[in-house]
Structure 1
Amino acid sequence: MEWLKTLLFPTEDPSVIQSLVTIMLAIGSGVFFGRLKLGKITFGVSAVMFTGLILGHFGYRINHEIFDFIRDFGLILFVYGIGLQVGPSFFSSFKDEGLKFNILAVSTVLLGGLITFILHKVTALDIENLVGIMSGAVTNTPGLGAAKNTIEELKVQFPGKTFADPTIGYAINYPLGVFGIIAVIIFSKIVLKITPEDEMKKFRMAKINREEPLTHKKMRVTNPEFFGKSLNEVIKEIGYEIIISRLKHSGEVSVFSPTLDTHLQDRDVLMIVGKEKELNEFISKIGRDSTDSFIESDSDISKKNIFVTKPSAVHKKLSELDLYNTYDLKVTRVFRAGREILPRPSLELFYGDILRVIGTDEAIKEAEKIIGNQEKKLLEPDFLSLFGGLLIGIIVGSIPLMIPGLPIPLKLGFAAGPLIVALLISRYGGISFIHSYINNGAIHFMKDFGICLFFAAVGIHAGEGFYENFIKYNGWNWLLYGSAITFIPLITMVVVGRVFLKINFLQLTGIMSGSYTDPAALAFSTNYLDNDVPIQSYAQVYPLVTIARIFTASLLILLLT
């Protein structure tokens, strides 16, 4: 059994196989402990960092030839998955409250960077260590990755210079960052006397006032002013974006999908789609609500959802497909990344979009030939798109950006490069043969697998000599510095966000977790407040915050080393 002992027990110079076993031990045990509840707290995959520290402390190591690959590849998978997941809502959120949320979150990042700068001047501590302390205190993994990449670039540029390892400060302060955010959420809820139920009511009312979902209504035409007018004339005159999906003439049972040239007649019954407020005003001007059940009959026309999976439909506008004139089909809604979109003629279709169409069964079958509707295909991972996007992200992250006054060009790195590319790909539906659609299960797997690899590699490496480093560098002082970086920006955010900006507390907890890119705090807040609202605001600020933290960490090292 000597072979099993060699495989499972720690060694100073491990082989690749022994290193992989060590990584699996760290991830497996971390995921197990991450599922255990401490009150209402679950650490999730963040626990992999702690189990890695423990294994590293007790002598487990990773072969140095694969260490960088495991760490960097994990980080790339994680940030790319985040970009694909939140990209569609990230850009659209800036039209509403997303701009306010992101300004608050990025200001918190900058305040943390300012505190780090002040600590460097006051304590004379190496900026590499302080950036590691900052990254751990705000639980920001991509910032640490960017800092390490910058240091590697500086080592090449200045081979005779010695640089400290920011991973040590990161490992010492990471638990503080996790528990610090949770403590502020609990403390602020008590001090502000927050009732989650009341906050949820306020959130729902604000959402209704801010954005109305698409709905459908039945109406009967009774206003003589519109008799004989075409639907095109009526819609232009009323001035609302309304889709008229079905029409039935009075006294008849046949239902059809009208064209814009169809003329209204007295007592026609219409099925209309749009925003509820606009539908109500449309109905009040043209007629009244209808209870006619024949308009919903499927005897003449059918309703079906069609998935966009064929290249012949991807990146085509609805006007280019011209489904009505070609197949006598009308598109009533488009579903994309969980959002309902009104099917304007100028709307460009993305791979994975869902079109809700109405028409005859024969027409729907013909349209499926050019649109695709191969739902099974969407369940299969498209590795060409995935790794093509990752390749572009790595290339973008490696582009040197010349900034006057800096000793070396600034690079986005393996954290920001893939993240920005994923955001843009998800915003525009893809680049050439690379599309943005990946099913939710695959995205969650990619994110969690990537961050587990990164946490395991960083944790095991930091655990090597962790206790000795804590004693050597006076870890209690480092925890004190980290406390300033953790708590001052968070408390400032709560005061500004709640008192001055009047942000709903449920959303504010998501912004707090997103500003510190902390999934453990997010999981806690959703359990503690018993709702999923924090997830939405977390996703709104996460991408921009990640980029801001990457630049902050890199710039501090470049400017102060």
Structure 2
Amino acid sequence: MFDWFNTLFFPASEPDITQSLIVLLIAISVGFFVGRIRIGNVSLGVSAVMFVGLFLGHYGYRMDESILVFVRDFGLILFVYGIGIQVGPSFFSSFKKDGLLFNLLAVGAVVLGGLITYGIHIITKIDIENAVGLMSGSVTNTPGLGAAKATLQEIQNQFPTKVFSDPTIAYAITYPLGVFGIITTIILSKSIFKIDLAKESLSLQKKSLDTENKIIHEKCRITNPELLGKSIYQIFKELDSHNIIISRLKNSGSKVVYSPSLDTKIHDKDVVMVVGNQKDVTRFIAVVGKISTDLFIESESDVVARFIFVTNKKATHKTLAELDLHNKFDLKVTRVVRSGLELLAQPSLELFYGDKLLIVGNKEAICEIEKIIGNSEKNLLEPDFLSLFGGLIIGIIIGSIPIFIPSLPVPLKLGFAAGPLLTALFISRYGGVGAIHSYINNGAIHFMKDLGICLFFAAVGIHAGAAFYDNFIKFNGWLWIYYGCYITFIPLIIMVLLGRFVFKLNFYQLVGIMSGAYTDPAALAFSTKYLDSEIPNQSYATVYPLVTIARIFIAQLLILLFAS
């Protein structure tokens, strides 16, 4: 009577599509539950899906091979593409500040880990595929594992007689070491170096005052007699203040507020609203006058400020100068919010789909401009599958381009990991390609990333679980964990020493670089709670994309150069 139930939920050596899907969904749902269990401040998070998959695979649960390969590769593509879209804008802008140093430090740790892995392969005679699995697990890098498996498959397609070990076994054995290794290093380095978190936070705040690019607005009363009677354009030119915007002006003795043009002349004791980054605004006010406490200039009776979303595709990829909102509608754009970043509204700034503009001017004119800009939040909430899947197609095409290198057995490819990641980074940087735009709302990005990594972890876990215990005994899994310690801790220790004592990095930033260099969201989540700060998130996002690409390439090169 219950044969159908047994067929669905009990192990089968040759599962059909329905049985495969049931196993996949059990691994993901139970994995999510296990991942929420906390020991202190630490939880496995989404990586628990892989360990549940290992458990199921060990006890005989299987998936149809073709379904498993599809789920694994499609999950990886979704995951890395979501990462690229999410961190792309902040990744490129970070190079204007400390991003170059952060990335050099993180990528240096990646290269050192690759050299240690090669050394372990040579000294211990471990197969290079297992050594790469050890490396990927010891640094919790899933895309590197995916790239290694894809490269092994390419070699096997070219040379069918060759037989390779599955790097997923070594990856699964050392993965917990990677998670807890970073956490242990964070705790020990804070204790050994006697880090004063209050002092570190104050130091970072002081540094931010000098270099912060956050856009602010400040009221200023004009008192400099040398500027009276001159136009705003002349003042900007004389003071070299082209990164400043005057959004509102109120003449002395008047209650009327309006949005001035560059030809508007300045008079004694006029009050203006100055928009720009902290450093430029402070310098400008110090020269032209003093901070004002005038309340009328902020009144919404004559001039209002409204956020407008760019949702009309006719307005995308046009500069603010091309739209010419001030001359046509007497409106002024003061800032643009893009992927959480605030940008000063320079005339040369190109608008992307999903940008949020802060527009200052007359209410009726703002209503008119909505017809040109769009301002349809409903459109932003609806998924644009053309942009999403179009971007994925481009990523897969780029990842499939063969790069012929002499002496390598098969061409080098970016693969399903690096191809979509690079594509997403550049699409998010340039706003899109043709009809494909970069905007995906945050909820959709998080869903795509989590779904992708769950599919990948479940597939590799179920596949590896079948031989996990036997391989752990055969290859002495404890010895592999010992080897993994070298890959985990040596680059971390050197990174901490160089970052702290040579480059004098703030501890909050250094912790984010450590987590990002090992692409470890579990360590990042721990550090933000342990340090009670969101600062590590910034440096984590800065190094994550380049580190991911570097780990993918190193995993591929090790396989291509040394696989027997």
Task: Please state which band the TM-score falls in when normalised by the shorter chain.
Answer: over 0.9
Equivalent residue, structure 1, for 2:165: 164
Q: Percent same amino acid among aligned pairs? A: 64
Distance apart, 1:181 and its partner CA: 1.6
For residues 253 and 177 of structure 2, what CA distance do their matches in structure 1 show? 73
**Residue 212 of structure 1: how far off its partner (Å):** 4.2
Q: Which moved more, 1:528-537 or 1:75-84?
A: 528-537
CA contact (8 A) 2:212 2:279 kept: no
- The worse-fitting range, judged by mean Cα deviation, of 480-489 and 206-215 is 206-215
Task: Check whether the contact 2:138–2:488 (CA below 8 A) recurs between aligned residues.
Answer: yes
The residue that corresponds to 1:545 in the other structure is 547
CA contact (8 A) 2:320 2:350 kept: yes
Are residues 284 and 122 of structure 1, via their aligned partners in 2, closer, same or farther at CA, if it must alter by over 3 Å?
Answer: closer
User: Any unmatched runs of 5+ in structure 2?
Assistant: none
CA contact (8 A) 2:209 2:278 kept: no
Cα distance in structure 1, aligned partners of 2:198 and 2:32: 32
TM-score for the superposition, normalised by structure 2: 0.97
Taking the TM superposition and a 5 Å limit, the aligned residue runs for 1:106-505 are: 106-240=107-241, 241-505=243-507
> Match of 2:164, as an amino acid?
F
CA RMSD of aligned residues (A): 1.3
Distance 1:96 1:152 in 2: 41
Aligned mates of 2:558, 2:148 — CA distance in 1: 9
Q: CA deviation at 1:530?
A: 1.6
Once the 2 structures are TM-superposed, how far is the Cα of residue 284 of structure 1 from its aligned partner? 3.2
Deviations 1:419-458 (A, max 9, x none): 0000000000111111111111110111011001101111
Q: What secondary structure sits across from 2:43 in the alignment?
A: coil
In 1, distance between residues paired with 2:549 and 2:429? 17
Q: 1:283 to 1:182 in 2, by over 3 A?
A: closer
Query: Corresponding residue for 1:3?
Result: 4
The superposition leaves residues 171-226 of structure 1 with CA deviations (integer Å, 9 ceiling, x where unpaired) of 21112222222222222222112233332222222222221422222222233322
The aligned amino acid for 1:9 is F
Equivalent-residue separation in structure 2 for 1:101 and 1:297 (angstroms): 44
Query: 2:41 touches 2:526 (CA, 8 Å); kept in 1?
Result: yes
Change (3 A) 1:203 1:285: closer
The alignment partner of 2:275 has SS state of: strand
Say which is worse superposed, 142-151 or 157-166, in terms of deviation. 157-166
User: Which residue number in structure 1 is paired with residue 51 of structure 2?
Assistant: 50
| Distance in 2 of aligned mates of 1:341 and 1:105 | 27
Deviation string, structure 1 residues 498-537 (Cα, Å, up to 9, x no partner): 1211111111111111111111111111122121111111
The 2-side partners of 1:352 and 1:54 are apart by 43
- Describe the superposition over 1:303-349 as per-residue Cα deviations: whole angstroms up to 9, x where unpaired: 11100010111000000000011111111111111111111100000
- List aligned pairs for 1:67-86, cutoff 5 A: 67-86=68-87
**Counterpart residue number, 1:102:** 103
Alignment partner of 1:556 is 2:539? no
Q: Could you tell which deviates more after superposition, 263-272 or 62-71?
A: 263-272
Instruction: Write the deviation string for residues 17-47 of structure 1: whole angstroms up to 9, x where unpaired.
Output: 1111111111111111111110110221011
Task: Give, in whole Å, the separation in 2 of the partners of 1:285 and 1:106.
Answer: 43
Q: What secondary structure, in the 3-state scheme, does the structure 2 residue paired with 1:465 have? A: helix
**1:359-411, Cα deviation, whole Å (9 max, x unpaired):** 11111011110100001211111111000000000000000011222121100
Checking the alignment, whether the CA contact within 8 Å between 2:141 and 2:519 is kept in structure 1 is yes
2: CA distance, partners of 1:185 / 1:284:
43
Local SS of the residue matching 2:72? helix
Partner SS state of residue 304, structure 1: strand
Superposed CA deviations along residues 266-288 of structure 1, whole A, max 9, x for unmatched, are 33221111233332332333233
Q: Distance in 2 between matches of 1:306 and 1:435?
A: 18
Cα contact 2:315–2:372 (8 A) shared by 1? yes
Q: Deviations over 1:33-80 (max 9, x none)?
A: 111110110221011111111111111111112011000000000000
Q: Would the aligned equivalents of 2:211 and 2:279 in 1 still touch at CA under 8 Å?
A: no
Structure 1 counterpart of 2:386, one-letter code: L
Tell me the CA shift for residue 554 of structure 1: 0.5
CA distance in 1, matches of 2:190, 2:273: 47
In structure 2, what is the Cα distance between the partners aligned to 1:559 and 1:323? 58
Tell me which of 490, 508, 511 is aligned to 1:509.
511
- Seen in structure 2, the aligned counterparts of structure 1 residues 46 and 218 have a Cα distance that, compared at 3 Å, is same
Q: Secondary structure at the match of 1:464?
A: helix
Distance 1:288 1:173, change over 3 A: closer
Aligned equivalents of 1:242 and 1:374: distance in 2?
29
Bigger mean CA deviation after superposition, 276-285 or 252-261: 276-285
My pick for the range that moved more, 163-172 or 355-364, is 163-172
Distance 2:196 2:49 in 1: 33
User: How far apart in 2 are the matches of 1:217 and 1:371?
Assistant: 27
Task: Verify the 8 A CA contact 2:337 2:343 in the aligned structure 1.
Answer: yes
- C-alpha displacement at 1:415, in angstroms? 0.3
* Counterpart residue type for residue 15 of structure 1: D
List per-residue Cα deviations over 1:95-154 (Å, max 9, x = no partner).
Answer: 111111111111111111101111111122211111111111111110111011111110
Rounded Cα–Cα distance in structure 2 between residues aligned with 1:211 and 1:161 = 56
Seen in structure 2, the aligned counterparts of structure 1 residues 52 and 272 have a Cα distance that, compared at 3 Å, is same
